[in-house]
Structure 1
Amino acid sequence: MGTNFWSAPDLAVQIGGDAAAPRGRAEAAMDWAFGLATPELRLFTTGVQRRLPAGPAASLGERVRNFFSEYPAAADGNEVSPRLLVGAIPFDREADDCLFLPERAANRAWSAPALMSSSLGDRRMTAEPSRDAYQAAVIKALAFLRASREGAQSIDKVVLSRSLRLEADHPIDAFALWRDLQADPSAARFLVPLGAGRGGAMRRLVGASPELLVSKRGPAILSHPLAGSARRSPDLSQDESAAQDLLTSDKDRREHALVVEAIMDALAPWCGELRAPPGPALVSTQTMWHLGTRIEGRLRRQDETSAAELAAVLHPTPAVCGAPRDRAAAMIRDLEAYDRGFYAGALGWTNAMGDGAWYVALRCAEICGAEARLYAGAGVVEGSDPAAEADETSGKFQAVLRALGVDEASL
């Protein structure tokens, strides 16, 4: 694979397990199926050959280097199992990540189990917190932001999220949900196994993220943060108005600038060249408008730096946490009544060459058995309106809710 990984044709391996393998073995391989489909790359793996020792974000770069140094390339160059790590990083920088070396990989989709509909049918939906409670949390956050400016360390932004818990009367098919999220071809569609959850069922993170945290291809790196959002409308005139209002919004441009500044500052020590345009551009998904900025650079020491290490340095950006990072994260712990888990973390891959791509875990749900937990957040800065932030989270739920066949009523 090596340097041709980004442009490789379908790899000469079978996905979905060996057809001649015992049924139990093939099913176990699909338990650990990982999928990532983007406009630039399609990567599908099955099985788990070896897991990266879990740990916090600060040690990820060192653990990845040690892993590949202990797993040398095959002498003949023929590797059915590539030197590749795939997986996810949780939102909390101190929590354990989940990365592993797959048994097999290809650039074409796995032969997934017979897919059911991703529609939930009879189900129960619980908002955690409720819309009113979320708006109350935004009001508290605004008060904290104002009060912080009187101290030595002010907080400029905090991202508050809320969750929807959906319980079905049958196991939810994560592969079918992944399939039904393909309506937005510009997004990075992903399915990431996270290990056994309650009752022994596999936990899977499934979604379609619009945001690239960082990619590395040789010396070239790219980050494309999104911050500042507006809900799209089926009415063309209203949709255009929403886009232009977002592009000229002082509040949203200030929120976006905080993210770009933080990423530029974090990447600067690693890069000999680093550039970004003077202002953001509009980026659209099926349900939302965003402000986005392409940040490009060239590494000083490409051979000593992996994409996973860069992801760990950047994560979490002010786009999903706030600024400054540590103080915003502490506020999130105070105001959110649940553990984000891998939501607003990062998912992706890195190989032994150091190349890779990591996306922010957004527009997603964690699936485990008959339960799906969805997440959405909004950035709170001076000038934020609690009702508007709640509306923004409602819009961000829509991609996954539609794929699950659930109406947005009363969100």
Structure 2
Amino acid sequence: MDGFLLSRVDRTLRTSGVRHGYDTAAAAVAALANGDTELVVGALPFDPERRTALSAPESWEFTEGPWRPGTVPGLPPVRLTREVPEPAEHVARVRSLVDRLRGGTLGKVVAARSVALGADTPISPEALAARMIHQNPTANGFAVDLSAAGDGFHGHSLVGASPEVLLSRRGRRVTCRPLAGTAPRRADPESDEKEGRGLLESTKNLAEHAFVTAWIRDVLAPLCTELNVPQSPVLTSTHEVWHLATPIEGVLRDPSTSALTLATRLHPTPAVCGTPTDLALATIRDVEGDRRFYGGAVGWCDGDGDGDWVVAIRCAEITADGLEALATAGGGIVAESDPEAELDETSTKLRTLLRALGVQPEP
């Protein structure tokens, strides 16, 4: 796709064309500060050492409310072609990580797995984004051209519907809404309510969530004159899962601190990586390899420093020919984690993407 889309409940940004690409966030921040561009859009990779997919668009438009496209192409039938790793191997990985967590300094690490989906005719990123936004009206729908990331990404797109806001900045005011701690939704209302209550009372999930809020507090506190981090999370939900969420608000000390700068300071949070960050990131590199843009951040920043960045989850990377989509999901592993339950959590999270593509997951 030629452009960028971020559809939120309050407004949508749509861009077209690329005037300049930036393979580092620092280059994009400098371009905004120097007045070389009025807007930067794109994606940060999961691993901060990898190249970014940021660009200065040729044209753009903000519209009120979520994206409501006119006619978009239909989606072709798709089939699951492989799982990376296979479910049994993911369980074994989690079991090994739990052993590390119980015996070392690692507090939490996120373990992810992927499913590859094949099609005989191209999957349109725009059509998939439209379907995901329609099916997940309160999520943050996005579609990003990843070409600026260089070799291996030319023509690739990242498409998803993220429930998690990394940060929003308007003037000096900053808001974050991290998610960590998950439980499946149930068809029966009484069972569903019980699942949500159980999550809100879960010692394991509350501890996992606390890692994230403590991290954000530590990053933002030196940058803010005021910072409100509630002591307890609230319950929120998507079609597939319950989550623990904490709405965080702050007032920046320095008005020149831009949304993109904040995104690079906050990312990757313990919600997608772990804690301590350096050790968790090294563990993920060792166990999984390169996550590419899954677990990264998608968003925009303008010349005034305002912007929105969402966490790149509930998403898939679509190849340049459109014939394959790689969807990834992860879960936070702590010392109390049950490996089989962690596998189930990734399967539940993958349903957001599979449902949009019309794939019936295993029960």
Describe the shift of the 1:376–1:111 C-alpha distance in structure 2 as closer, same or farther (beyond 3 A).
closer
Q: Among 66, 73, 91, which residue is 2:30 paired with?
A: 66
Displacement of 1:64 in angstroms is 3.4
What is aligned with 1:239?
192
Q: Which residue of 2 aligns with 1:306?
A: 258
Aligned AA (1:160): A
Tell me which residue corresponds to 1:49.
Answer: 19
The answer to whether the Cα contact below 8 Å between 1:118 and 1:174 also exists between their aligned partners in 2 is: no
Structure 1 residues 32 and 135, CA, compared in 2 at 3 Å: closer, same or farther?
same
Q: Which amino acid letter does the alignment assign opposite residue 269 of structure 2?
A: T
Partner of 2:315: 364
Conserved 8 A contact 2:99-2:335: no
Report how far residue 394 of structure 1 moved. 0.5
Q: Please name the residue that 1:156 is paired with.
A: 107
In the alignment, is residue 104 of structure 1 matched against residue 59 of structure 2?
A: yes
CA distance in 1, matches of 2:56, 2:32: 10
Identity %: 44
Bigger fraction of residues in strand: 2
TM-score w.r.t. length of structure 2: 0.94
Residue number in structure 2 paired with 1:135: 91
CA distance in 2, matches of 1:342, 1:351: 22
Match of 2:296 among 342, 345, 352: 345
**2:147 counterpart SS class:** strand
Shift of 1:124: 4.1
- Relative to the length of structure 1, the TM-score reads 0.83
- Tell me by how many angstroms 1:66 deviates: 2.1
Residue 273 (structure 1) shift? 0.6
1:95 aligns with 2:65: no
Is 1:120 paired with 2:73?
A: no
Shift of 1:170: 1.6
Alignment of 1:11-410 (within 5 A): 31-52=1-22, 54-55=23-24, 60=25, 62-71=26-35, 83-108=38-63, 115-121=72-78, 123-148=79-104, 154-182=105-133, 183-195=135-147, 202-302=155-255, 304-336=256-288, 338-368=289-319, 369=321, 370-409=323-362
Separation in structure 2 between the aligned mates of residue 110 and residue 129 of structure 1, nearest angstrom: 35
CA contact (8 A) 2:107 2:275 kept: yes
Q: Runs of 5+ in structure 1 lacking a partner?
A: 1-30, 73-81, 149-153
**Is residue 246–residue 291 contact of structure 1 (8 Å, CA) maintained in 2?**
yes
Q: Which runs of 5+ in 2 are unaligned?
A: none
Aligned partners of 1:124 and 1:168 also within 8 Å: no
* Alpha carbons 2:6, 2:13 under 8 Å: kept: yes
Question: Aligned-pair distance for 1:199?
Answer: 9.4
SS of the counterpart of 1:259? helix
How many residues align? The count is 357
The answer to whether the 8 Å contact 1:222/1:297 transfers is yes
Q: Which amino acid aligns with 2:77?
A: L
Write the distance in 2 (CA, Å) between the matches of 1:278 and 1:407: 39
Post-superposition CA distance 1:249-293 (Å, at most 9, x none) = 000000000100001001111101111111000011111100000
Q: C-alpha distance in 1, partners of 2:203/2:55?
A: 43
In structure 2, give the amino acid aligned to 1:328: A
Aligned equivalents of 1:167, 1:192: Cα separation in 2: 20
For residues 90-129 of structure 1, the C-alpha deviation after alignment (integer angstroms, 9 at most, x for no partner) is: 00010110111111111249998963322424x3421101
Shift, 1:335, TM fit: 1.8
Shift of 1:315: 0.4
Q: AA paired with 2:200?
A: L
Structure of greater Rg? 1
**Contact 1:120–1:172 under 8 Å retained in 2:** no
Letter in 2 for 1:51: G
Return closer, same or farther for 1:198/1:354 CA change in 2, 3 Å cut-off: closer
| Aligned residues of 2:32 and 2:40 also touching (Cα < 8 A) | no
8 Å CA contact retained: 2:316, 2:328: yes
Task: Indicate how the Cα distance of structure 1 residues 200 and 334 shifts in structure 2: closer, same or farther if over 3 A, else same.
Answer: closer
Structure 1 CA distance for aligned equivalents of residues 362 and 171 of structure 2: 47
SS, match of residue 104 in structure 1: strand
Taking only aligned residues, the RMSD between alpha carbons, in angstroms, comes to 2.0
Shift of 1:168: 1.3
Please tell me whether the aligned partners of residues 112 and 175 of structure 1 are also in contact (alpha carbons under 8 angstroms). no
Amino acid in structure 1 at the alignment position of 2:253 = R
Is 2:69–2:130's contact at 8 Å kept on the other side of the alignment?
Answer: no
Aligned to 1:28: none
Distance, in Å, in 2 between the alignment partners of 1:256 and 1:33 is 34
Change over 3 Å in CA distance of 1:112–1:285 after alignment to 2: closer
**Cα deviation digits, residues 137-158 of structure 1 (max 9, x gap):** 000000111121xxxxx11000
Provide closer, same or farther for how the CA distance between residues 301 and 144 of structure 1 changes in structure 2, counting only shifts above 3 A. same
d(CA) in 2 for partners of 1:179 and 1:390? 28
